[in-house]
A and B are shown apart, each in its own frame.
Chain A
Amino acid sequence: MGRPIVLQVKDLVTKFYTLDGVVHAVNGVTFDLEEGETLAIVGESGSGKSVTMLSILGLIPSPPGKVEEGEALFFSEDGQGNLLKMSPAELREVRGGQIGFVFQDPMSSLNPILTVGEQIAESMTKHVNMTHEQARSRVLELLSKVGIPDPELRFNNYPHQLSGGMRQRVMIAIAIACSPEIVVADEPTTALDVTVQAQIVDLFKRLRDIMGMAIVWITHDLGVVAGLAERVLVMYGGRVAEIALVDDLYERPLHPYTHGLLGALPRLDSRESKQLASIKGTPPDLMIPLKHCPFAWRCDYAFDRCWEEIPPLITVSVRHQIACFYDMEGGRPRDA
């Protein structure tokens, strides 16, 4: 504790109005992010982890998507603002400037007909009033900062001339070009091979140490998170299931879902080949608005109350919150 808060999200609700019905993608998400902190948002497909961050950045395609409730306060040197209430022009100022982002698929995020250098320079000439000459030398500096060999040569390359790992490095260069307060990384290593993934994770750690920005790392991979994040937020069915400091989450998971997820992971450093502890059933259908815990169907500990109301996020110890009526350590339901 102690570091000032840079982003505060409260009761975020996002829905998609599709022809088949309403998809309840995010159903009341609350969390905050400290300056320079690395927060991982972990969840399976459909858990709402990406939609949460896209909602905050105003990147939800609308229609069909709509951010219905909540606020996302962003604190910067120029004061505070609610990202959800900003005009598109104001939001464009923040995005790519004070908040950078890196997506999973660098090929479809980069413009195929602009050179790498032009794309990185674009964000700076737009956001920080640089001349083209200034931007060019800054781009070369950025390219070597993100570990791209031969910056002079690569400046004039098009995205298709680069490998997947190199493209992701270009995306990272764009994200950090304007020295952002926050970098949002949405599954940045999922499409990459494991040896290249290790390179990119290593790069993020180095950049974080040099530049001190906060990172929101969205992923389904609890392995990568263990070595990178300071705090972890676990999402399920569009809600926060558990949020804790990284050591607490792995050693003392208090939500049955987190507990199950960690048990379902095979570990490279274990010798025995026992059965994996799988979680029965499948994730909830988001078309149906829930009046009870979204995990109740799959939970071994569910009791009456879990089927009657939605568990609120409660604080169980220092910086450790869960949304569950059951006390796993005590082996009984929590007092109502």
Chain B
Amino acid sequence: MPEKDVLVRVVELRKFFPITGGLLGRPVGAVKAVDGVSFDIRQGETLGLVGESGCGKSTTGRAVLQLQKPTSGQVFFEDVELTKLSREGLRRLRPKMQMIFQDSYASLNPRHSVGKIIGEPLVIHGLMKGKELEERVAELLKLVGMNPAYMRRFPHEFSGGQRQRIGIARALSLNPRFVVCDEPISALDVSIQAQVVNLLHNLQEQLGLTYLFIAHDLSMVKHISHRIAVMYLGKVMELCDRNALFDDPLHPYTQSLISAVPVPSPKVERVRQRIILRGEVPSPANPPKGCVFSTRCPVAIDECFEIVPEYRQVGARHSVACHLVKPDG
């Protein structure tokens, strides 16, 4: 059972998508989008989930919230095993776990007013109506730094950053404890990204929220997260505190990922040593045998091409999946 301050516990989560073929559409294989992922998220913390496209980070987020039924594995939320709940049981818990999406164009109904969009979760769960509902919507708009009068307007009247604020207000309408932020700022301009990240940060402090923050931008994830999990091809390669990840990355993939991220300073860039990885991420439908990173790893040994490395704890609050990293002591 989860420890006291753990809000979300994910154990050996798997999500496979079948590949069908032939005349009868029989399954001929599977895309292993998420392949045995485990982590805890503590109350009030932000766990960053980073990785390149196709590594399964978004699928993990959706499977944690049961928006996509996991193939196997367990997800606990407040000691309740979500993976065992019925539809109705899940529905009752939904207000406590919400999601902020990447694409604020696609995730806001263009025919609904902002007020209706933000208030809809409250109506669906039968919590408020009339004047009370309107007041709550106004309060939520103020909370995300928008004018309450905007509730009569429609999504197309707003910029990307403002639409993302509307999405955040909707996610917060039911007073959730846990919010999955799926690339909430990737579609925004740099100057607007900072606004939204600062808002998410302030809301966390104000409301005691717990975040799973999914993104591919390592600098931004480092900025907002307390701990970070690095994913590659459906697996967590390394998980530790944010500063440890950057000061002392243990996995060769983490090391090369960090080295590939440019630092906005010409002086630093001029003297930086880069690890340039060979090739690109293999297909998750046909992952390499052994360690999934072995085909691109600059330091792989024979063992790496044959045996899947165990994901294990190697130090206080530091876990890694690599044959070359030996546990402390």
Contacts and interface: CB of A to CB of B under 8 A. Distances in A.
B191 A222 contact: no
A194 B258 CA distance: 9
Interface string A264-298: 11111101010111111011000000000000001
Contact of A278 (B194, B223, B242, B270): B194
Nearest to A269: B263
A165 B192 CA distance: 28
Contacts of A122: none
A227 B52 contact: no
A280 B194 CA distance: 10
B133 interface: no
Contacts of B264: 222-223, 225-226, 250, 262, 265, 267
Given A195-B260, A197-B260, A222-B190, A268 B161 contact: no
B85 interface: no
A247 B197 CA distance: 28
A190 to B, nearest CB: 11
Nearest to A224: B262
Interface in B104-121: none
Contacts of A227: 262-263, 266, 269-270, 272
Contact of A247 (B191, B224, B266, B274): B266
A268 B269 CA distance: 12
Interface string B183-213: 0000001111111011001000000000000
Nearest to A285: B159
A165 B280 contact: yes
A283 B159 CA distance: 9
Contact of A223 (B194, B222, B261): B261
A227 B189 CA distance: 21
Nearest to B220: A266
B276 A264 contact: no
Contact of B194 (A166, A201, A279, A282): A279
B137 to A, nearest CB: 22
Contacts of B263: 223, 226-227, 267-269
B219 interface: yes
Interface residues of A, number: 48
Contacts of A266: 197, 219-220, 222-223
Given A226-B262, A226-B266, A282-B162, A45 B189 contact: yes
Given A220-B190, A276-B223, A195 B256 contact: yes
B159 A223 contact: no
A6 interface: no
A246 B266 contact: yes
B268 interface: yes
Interface in B4-48: none
Nearest to A257: B191
Contacts of A298: 191
A273 B197 CA distance: 12
B174 interface: no
Contact of B159 (A268, A280, A282): A282
Contacts of A202: 274, 276
B190 A264 contact: yes
Contacts of A263: 194
Main secondary structure of the interface of B (DSSP, over half): helix
Interface in B143-201: 159, 161-162, 189-195, 197-198, 201
Contacts of B256: 195
Nearest to B197: A276
B53 interface: yes
A195 B255 CA distance: 11
Contact of B52 (A194, A220, A275, A280): A194
B218 interface: yes
Contacts of A128: none
A109 interface: no
B277 A199 contact: yes
A283 B189 CA distance: 10
Interface string B76-115: 0000000000000000000000000000000000000000
B216 interface: yes
Given A221-B262, A226-B263, A268 B246 contact: yes
Nearest to B278: A199
Contacts of A197: 260
B150 to A, nearest CB: 14
Contacts of B258: 268
Contacts of B216: 193-194
A35 B161 CA distance: 40
| Most A CB within 10 A of own CB, among B261, B265, B267 | B265
B257 interface: yes
Contacts of A221: 262
A44 interface: yes
A314 interface: no
A65 interface: no
B72 interface: no
30 contacts: A163-B280, A164-B280, A166-B280, A195-B256, A195-B257, A195-B277, A195-B280, A198-B274, A198-B277, A199-B276, A199-B277, A221-B262, A222-B190, A222-B264, A223-B219, A223-B263, A226-B263, A226-B265, A246-B266, A250-B264, A251-B267, A262-B264, A264-B193, A264-B194, A266-B223, A267-B263, A273-B223, A275-B201, A282-B192, A283-B189
Interface of A: 44-45, 163-166, 193-199, 201-202, 220-227, 246-247, 250-251, 260-269, 271, 273, 275-280, 282-283, 298
Interface of B: 52-53, 159, 161-162, 189-195, 197-198, 201, 216, 218-220, 222-224, 242-243, 246, 256-270, 272, 274, 276-277, 280-281
Report, nearest first, the 5 A-B pairs whose CB atoms are least far apart: A227-B269, A223-B262, A266-B223, A278-B194, A264-B194
